[in-house]
Amino acid sequence: MEFPDIGERCSIEDCKQLNFLPFICDHCRDTFCKDHFHVASHECKNFHENKRAKAKMVNYSCSEESCKETSPTEIQCVKCEKHFCLKHRYHGCQEPIDGKLTKKLKKWQISKKQFAEAKAVVDKEILDSLKKSKNTAMANKVRLMRIKGSAVGSKNVPMNERCYFLAYPPSLVFVRNTRPSKGVFVNVNWTIGQVIDSMAALLRVSNNNNIAGASKLRLFHHSTGALICNETDIPLTELLENSDLVDGQSVVLEYSSDTSIDTALYK
């Protein structure tokens, strides 16, 4: 043999094979060839002893009498030096800390209760608002159907371009009862100025909007008395899209420079 000092022989007596790249067992630290390096191949005693030793590892039992939890890791109390599981780590020795936690918990529970109460109030308001909105929408539909049955307007307005209102005349006219409220229709493509002119003609109300210095007719919400629009060149479609006006709603035509009127005059 040319290199008798190179490599190591297998530790198995019946093998003794010379290995230039020998295997060393992690458990018994003996040298083996590729056929005997596995613990089962050379029946490694250290492997089985290590396995039994691991099986006999100490498990720490919780010091709480009613607890049966065990752990391979000791969690020792700094005061009584006893082992406790995670569930019982706050025991008698930790009463001061536990007291602080209890106070914080109670404080948090109060905030949680207040939040729940506030949320309940908000949820009720939202629900009531939705119900009111549905009722208002239904009322508008019913009113629109009633108005359509007797509404008057220009015959030149196509059916698919008509927008209906229950129009109240100015208070002076209304008080004299010469002309009560009336269902009217206008063209959705008209401006507010054109709508006012058309309503004035249909209600037979004097209209001096084109005369400088004269009292101007303006359009108000019948429900709130608020001015619908301060500018006469705003398209009706824009107000409908922004829900400033609703098809079928009641409006008041009035001589006023204010931003609101007294709705009690138009009952």
pLDDT of residue 34: 86
First to last CA, the chain: 126
DSSP letter assigned to residue 194:
H
Supply the Cα-derived Rg of the chain in whole angstroms: 47
Integer CA distances (angstroms), 38 to 7, 16, 90, 223, in order: 19, 16, 48, 94
Where is pLDDT greater, at 174 or 10?
10
Per the rule left: phi > 0, alpha: psi between -120 and 50, beta: everything else, 263 is alpha
Question: In the prediction, which pLDDT does 1 show?
Answer: 45
CB contact set of 100 (below 8 Å; sequence gap of 6+): none
Q: Which residue has the tokens 């824009």?
A: 238
- On whether the pTM is more than 0.75, the answer is no
Region 138-153 average pLDDT: 84
Asked whether 193 and 207 are in contact (CB, 8 A), the reply is no
Q: What is the pLDDT of residue 174?
A: 52
Per-residue pLDDT tens digits for 171-214: 876 555 445 789 999 999 999 999 999 999 999 889 988 888 88
pLDDT > 70? residue 235? yes
The pLDDT, as a whole number, for residue 134 is 57
pLDDT tens per residue, range 30-74:
888 888 888 888 888 887 777 766 655 667 788 887 888 877 777
| E strands in the chain | 8-9, 18-19, 23-24, 31-32, 60-61, 70-71, 162-168, 182-187, 217-221, 250-255
